[in-house]
Amino acid sequence: MLKRMGIESAILIETPTEIFLRVYRELRPYARVPEVKVEFRRFANANSFIRLEDGRLTVRITDVLDGAPSFILEALAHILISKLARKKPAPVFPERYRRYLNRKEMRNSLHLVRQTRGRKIIASPKGECYDLEQMFEDLNFRFFHGLMARPAIGWSLRISRQTLGHYDPSHNAIVLSRILDRKSVSRLAVEYVLFHEMLHLRFPVEHRGARRCVHTGEFKEAEKQFPDWKLARELLRKL
């Protein structure tokens, strides 16, 4: 009896290819069933990709998920195939997937992958109008008693209006959008963006189940220490 149960259990285990094929049939019951190929790749992050072309469904998944439980790959299949079909997946699947990625051991693995495989290419901190290293030291002295260690810091290679600044913990780097390095942009606004990113060093992201809390209560209170922060935000909105 024990042997029989063991054989039946083994039969129920699906390969990643079988999981994606099953989910494809569930989500697109009237579509032609494609040939499915699932590959685990050495990506520098947790991104995964899907493409349907010439009757073949190709799925490329970060190798960090190689060996992940079948219910996690099933959740990812629902997310990717729903995206392919331009539909929203059932909320349970993104929730399950995010919760798994937010586990401490997974966060550590992804952090290591970003460090060892990823590259952070930024421009010099000395721009045409503003010197970010000099500005950092000034803000460090004014708000952090000069105790904050300076990370890698510089201007973005490309102009971005949506992301004015970001802190990358994997490479310990602060990057500000080059759109701020202009005479028409107030120094107050640039200082505010840089101060905001410096606070990310002071208050790291908190993980609560499936949620990532980037701006904690402490973060928001500390941000209000910046003089004229409301005016700075208003200046940035006009960009």
Q: 164, 182 in Cβ contact below 8 A? A: no
Tokens read off for 198: 């410096």
Tell me: the pLDDT tens digits for 182-238? Answer: 999 999 999 999 999 999 999 887 767 667 787 888 999 999 999 999 999 999 998
Q: Which residue has the tokens 């606070």?
A: 199
The count of residues in the chain is 239
The whole model's pTM is what? Answer: 0.63
Question: What does the pLDDT read at residue 7?
Answer: 43
Question: What does the pLDDT read at residue 10?
Answer: 45
Mean pLDDT, residues 25-50: 93
How is the chain split into domains, by residue range? 2-117, 132-237
Question: What does the pLDDT read at residue 8?
Answer: 44
Question: What does the pLDDT read at residue 29?
Answer: 93
Tokens read off for 155: 């201007």
Banded pLDDT at 4 (limits 50, 70, 90):
very low
Question: In the chain, pLDDT over 70 holds for what percent of residues?
Answer: 94
Residue 144's Cα: distance from chain center in Å? Answer: 27
CATH class, range 132-237: alpha beta
Tell me: the pLDDT tens digits for 83-131? Answer: 999 999 999 999 999 999 988 888 888 888 887 887 788 899 999 999 9
Contacts 24+ apart (CB under 8 A), 184-187: 185/129, 185/235, 185/239, 186/232, 186/235, 187/130
Question: What does the pLDDT read at residue 107?
Answer: 85
More confident residue, 55 or 108: 55
Among candidate residues 27, 135, 9, 5, the one with its CA nearest the CA of residue 75: 27
Question: In the chain, pLDDT over 90 holds for what percent of residues?
Answer: 70
Question: What does the pLDDT read at residue 176?
Answer: 96
Whether 2-117 shares its CATH topology with 132-237 is answered yes
State the SS3 of the chain: CHHHHHHHHHHHCCCHHHHHHHHHHHHCCCCCCCEEEEEEECCCCCCCEEEEECCEEEEEEEHHHCCCCHHHHHHHHHHHHHHHCCCCCCCHHHHHHHHHHCCHHHHHHHHHHHHHHCCCCCCCCECCCCEHHHHHHHHHHHHCCCCCCCCEEEECCCCCCCCCEEEECCCCEEEECHHHCCCCCCHHHHHHHHHHHHHHHHCCCEEECCEEECCCHHHHHHHCCCCCHHHHHHHHHCC
For the cut 60, the answer to whether the pLDDT of residue 9 exceeds it is no
**Cα(141)–Cα(133) distance, rounded to whole angstroms?**
12
Average pLDDT of the chain is: 89
Question: What does the pLDDT read at residue 119?
Answer: 77
Q: How far is CA 78 from CA 35, 65, 159, 179, in A?
A: 17, 15, 34, 38
β-bridge partners, 58: 37, 51
Q: Does domain 2-117 have CATH number 3.30.2010?
A: yes
